[in-house]
């Protein structure tokens, strides 16, 4: 049910003589039931503004009955109410044999809303027909009210010192919302509506804003040549040039595109955004249980989609490059959640490392011991300085275990804190990471192959 906002509140500045205030308003203004009732929206409960306005008008007609036809002011107020179609007012004038001045048609429109509340169904019809092809469960109505109407309402409120009214916008959107709900059987949702319907009263335009669809999942990456997200071409900044073969991209494929493509085909929508829980280097594999991600589909045509089918479709299409799993529907909050989680998540890496001289086995033992449960200082690596600020981060290495592959070639399994730069932990990055494989082994160590083999998240 649509909440009758604020109606259950007790009002402090309750008008002492509500009828007197209503009478004063109607003396100089011709208002419809809605617009009169709305000025008392916060008084009492259980009535629509229209009902409130109607009751107040009828009460006034009864009150004025003994004053007409002699009191000219009473007659004119009665006339004003009769012009707006109040049956009791018309009968009252008839009985007292007063002239009923129902002359021109432009005399019978509400001076405040200009007949808006008589035409609600005219607005609802096109909205409902627009909604017919949409896949949604919930909606909310928004409106752009012409400034001259807002100004008129402000003036009335100021003139009569009205403290119990609600805004024309909230009444309009609520009443429209009720009618839409009755015709579509969909629920209004004030927090996270699937669709926001915006009605612009000045030009009768109706726009539908569709909430993005968020899908959570985990991905694994099996090739060393694709980045996680789309990279714009350096030369043209994404516009397209000879260098990038007019694709605007530095790499022809990315994890993002491989996943988003099939999803967009199924869900529709105007575009997508990929949010990863951290990222691995282009040349690193992402193995094990996979890395969490959230993909956001903008303005989806379908929400009720089969995630199992999507998983199959993506995995079939991307073959041995990328595989996804654990898909579930998510919301915007999940994006922040996986990003902040990524900073804390331990990861297990496997690195193949070359050394520029022969190293005695004892030194590998020393390396394993020295890096066990160690906090190290890592200044932003030179290779990412162009996109990250230059500062020193303290990161933890939990364990390192070394396997010798050949003379001057080893394999290391490293468990480290999220955000630890592994290539620099190995090379030392000219002293920017301390200590490092190079500093402990007293040689130049270089990571030639790197894979993320496991993410230790809470889920596992
Ligand atoms: Zn009105
Ligand atoms: Zn280019």
Q: Which domains does the chain have, with CATH numbers?
A: 18-107 (no CATH), 116-210 (3.30.2130.30), 213-343 (3.30.70.2510), 345-456 (3.30.70.3190)
Neighbours of ion ligand 2 (CB under 5 A): 233, 235-236, 241, 243-244
What is the number of the ligand closest to the CA of 242?
A: 2
Q: Please tell me the distance between residue 34's alpha carbon and the centre of ligand 1 in angstroms.
A: 6
**What is the rounded average pLDDT of the residues 59-85?**
91
- DSSP one-letter code for 143: E
Q: In this structure, are residues 199 and 124 in contact, taking their beta carbons and an 8 Å threshold?
A: no
**What is the rounded average pLDDT of the residues 27-54?**
93
Q: What is the pLDDT of residue 231?
A: 86
Sign of CA dihedral 285, 287, 293, 297: positive
Q: What is the pLDDT of residue 109?
A: 86
pLDDT category at 357 given cuts 50, 70, 90 is: very high
Q: Is the confidence at residue 188, as pLDDT, over 70?
A: yes
Q: Please tell me the distance between residue 238's alpha carbon and the centre of ligand 1 in angstroms.
A: 53
Q: Which residues are designated catalytic? A: 281
Q: What is the pLDDT of residue 341?
A: 86
88-94 long-range CB contacts below 8 Å, 24 or more apart? 88/57, 88/58, 88/61, 88/62, 89/57, 89/61, 92/61, 92/64, 92/65, 92/68, 93/68
For the stretch 80-138, pLDDT in tens is: 899 888 999 999 999 988 877 665 555 678 999 999 999 999 999 999 999 998 999 99
Distances (CA, A) of 278 to 250, 269, 272, 371: 20, 25, 18, 23
Q: Is the confidence at residue 13, as pLDDT, over 60?
A: no
Q: What is the pLDDT of residue 345?
A: 87
Sign of CA dihedral 147, 153, 155, 157: negative
Q: Please tell me the distance between residue 231's alpha carbon and the centre of ligand 2 in angstroms.
A: 11
Q: What is the pLDDT of residue 131?
A: 95
Q: What is the pLDDT of residue 459?
A: 57
Q: Is the confidence at residue 368, as pLDDT, over 90?
A: yes
For the stretch 246-269, pLDDT in tens is: 888 888 899 999 999 999 999 999
What is the number of the ligand closest to the CA of 249?
A: 2
Q: What is the pLDDT of residue 9?
A: 46
Q: What is the pLDDT of residue 441?
A: 95
- Rounded-to-10 torsion of CA 357, 359, 365, 368: 0
Q: What is the mean pLDDT of the chain?
A: 90
What is the number of the ligand closest to the CA of 25?
A: 1
Give the DSSP H/E element, type plus range, for residue 20.
Answer: helix 18-28
Q: Please tell me the distance between residue 44's alpha carbon and the centre of ligand 1 in angstroms.
A: 21
Output the pTM of the full model. Answer: 0.73
């Amino acid at each position: 049910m649509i909440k009758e906002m604020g109606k259950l509140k007790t009002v402090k500045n309750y008008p002492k003589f509500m009828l007197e205030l209503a009478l004063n308003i109607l003396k100089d203004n011709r208002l419809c039931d809605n617009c009169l009732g709305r000025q008392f929206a916060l008084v009492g409960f259980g009535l629509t503004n229209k009902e409130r306005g109607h009751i107040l008008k009828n009460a006034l007609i009864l009150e004025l009955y003994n004053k007409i036809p002699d009191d000219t002011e009473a007659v004119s107020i009665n006339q004003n109410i009769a012009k707006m179609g109040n049956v009791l007012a018309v009968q009252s004038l008839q009985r007292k044999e007063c002239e009923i001045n129902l002359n021109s048609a432009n005399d019978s429109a509400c001076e405040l809303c200009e007949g808006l509340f008589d035409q609600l169904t005219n607005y609802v019809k096109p909205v409902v027909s627009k909604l017919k092809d949409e896949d949604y469960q919930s909606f909310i109505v928004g409106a752009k009210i012409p400034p001259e109407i807002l100004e008129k309402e402000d003036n009335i409120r100021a003139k009569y010192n009205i403290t119990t009214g609600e805004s024309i916008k909230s009444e309009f959107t609520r009443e429209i919302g009720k009618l839409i709900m009755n015709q579509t059987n969909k629920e209004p949702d004030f927090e996270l509506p699937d669709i926001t319907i915006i009605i612009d009263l000045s030009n009768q335009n109706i726009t539908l804003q569709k909430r993005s669809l968020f899908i959570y999942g985990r991905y694994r990456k099996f090739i060393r040549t694709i980045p996680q997200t789309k990279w714009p071409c350096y030369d043209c900044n994404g516009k397209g040039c000879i260098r990038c073969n007019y694709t605007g991209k530095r790499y022809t494929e990315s994890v993002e595109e491989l996943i988003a493509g099939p999803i967009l085909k199924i869900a529709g929508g105007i575009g997508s955004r990929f949010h990863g829980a951290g990222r691995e280097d282009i040349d690193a594999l992402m193995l094990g249980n996979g890395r969490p991600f959230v993909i956001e589909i903008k303005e989806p045509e379908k929400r009720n989609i089969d995630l199992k089918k999507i998983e199959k479709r993506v995995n079939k299409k991307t073959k041995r490059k990328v595989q996804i799993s654990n898909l579930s529907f998510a919301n915007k909050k999940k994006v922040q959640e996986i990003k902040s989680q990524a900073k804390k998540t331990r990861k297990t890496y496997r690195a193949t490392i070359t050394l520029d001289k022969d190293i005695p086995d004892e030194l590998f033992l020393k390396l394993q011991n020295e890096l066990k449960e160690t906090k190290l200082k890592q200044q932003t690596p030179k290779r990412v300085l162009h996109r990250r600020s230059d500062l020193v981060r303290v990161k933890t290495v939990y364990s390192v275990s070394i396997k010798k592959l050949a003379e001057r070639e080893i394999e290391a399994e490293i468990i480290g804190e999220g955000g630890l730069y592994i290539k620099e932990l190995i090379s030392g990055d000219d002293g920017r990471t301390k200590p490092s494989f190079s500093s402990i082994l007293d040689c130049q160590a270089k990571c030639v192959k790197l894979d993320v083999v496991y993410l230790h998240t809470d889920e596992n």
